[in-house]
Amino acid sequence: MSEARKAKLTMVFKAVSLGLAALVGLQAYRLATEEDPLKDLDLGALAAGARGQAKDVLAETPQPAARPELPERQGGVATSGVLGPVPTAPPPPALLGLAGKYAILRAPDGQTDLVAEGGQIGGVKLIQIGVNRVLIEHQGKVEELSIFSGLGGAPLAMPGKEGSK
């Protein structure tokens, strides 16, 4: 781009910026000198009138016909299996993630929290944290939960010790 064209564009930008600054200044002046447009408004009379109108409107509104109970209708859909199989047992404990010296665990009762080694959540005790897996104790059994399979270190459970305390 030539120097003459750059100079022209610079002048145009300066002029536009000056115009916008003037417009902002004018609006600020109008706000500072303008009187309150709501100063003559009687809010008490407005509120009383609105209450009276609301009573009239409610009296004239026809009441809807009685509907069947909502939980009844929802229960049919939930138990029909249309939305997937209906769970019958609580889900097993799950490892959702690792955050430094904490593991993000989901307990069978649905609780989810950060748990440090030795900590508990919903009947699940965290024994040890590894690279991509943790060792937990649940219902008297030692289990290993993993985020993903593949790289990430050796199993934490010792051979012959799985399923015991």
pLDDT by residue, tens only, the chain of 165 residues: 788 899 999 999 999 999 999 999 999 888 888 777 677 767 666 666 666 655 555 566 666 666 656 556 566 776 777 777 777 788 899 999 999 899 999 999 888 999 999 999 999 999 999 888 899 999 999 999 988 766 666 677 665 554 444
Contacts of 142 (CB under 8 A, 6+ apart): 127, 135, 136, 157, 161, 162, 163, 164, 165
Question: pTM for this structure?
Answer: 0.45
- CA gap 95, 144 in Å, rounded: 9
Asked if 126 and 115 touch (Cβ cutoff 8 Å), the reply is: yes
Q: Is residue 92 within 8 Å of 83, Cβ to Cβ? A: no
Measured in Å, how far apart are the chain's first and last C-alpha atoms?
78
